[in-house]
Amino acid sequence: DTGVSQNPRHKITKRGQNVTFRCDPISEHNRLYWYRQTLGQGPEFLTYFQNEAQLEKSRLLSDRFSAERPKGSFSTLEIQRTEQGDSAMYLCASSLEGQGSATQYFGPGTRLLVL
């Protein structure tokens, strides 16, 4: 399967704990995005990378959130000191910039529940 993959698919944690999610994009894609989605809402932009550079981060994102994309391949999203309000689906998407299309290909998401 050459699509976007995310791990884990589900994560349950206690408030105050740190969690880390991984995203493996489509191999030739140079852009990678992280979104958060809650029930009944569309995806909310968190951050994006072009190759290994993090080019933008949402103003809504607190400093408890950090993302990396070493070597421009897979990416990790870490949430420190989780809060119940962090409970959501975390989606990763990738795209190939410069192909005349900004179509984003999404992974299955990681569902986080903070107790």
Interface residues with another protein (CB under 8 A) are: 4, 33, 40-45, 48, 55-56, 91, 93, 101-109, 111
Q: Please list the residues that pair with 68 across neighbouring strands.
A: 76
74 or 105, CB closer to another protein? 105
Token digits of residue 44: 């909310």
Q: In angstroms, rounded to a whole number, what is the distance separating the alpha carbons of residues 100 and 98?
A: 6
Nearest to another protein of 15, 56 (CB atom): 56
> Least distance in Å: CB of 77 to another protein?
14
CB of 64 to another protein, least distance (A): 21
Using an 8 Å Cβ cutoff, are 4 and 24 in contact? yes
- Closest contact distance (angstroms) between CB of 81 and another protein is 26
Q: Please list the residues that pair with 75 across neighbouring strands.
A: 23
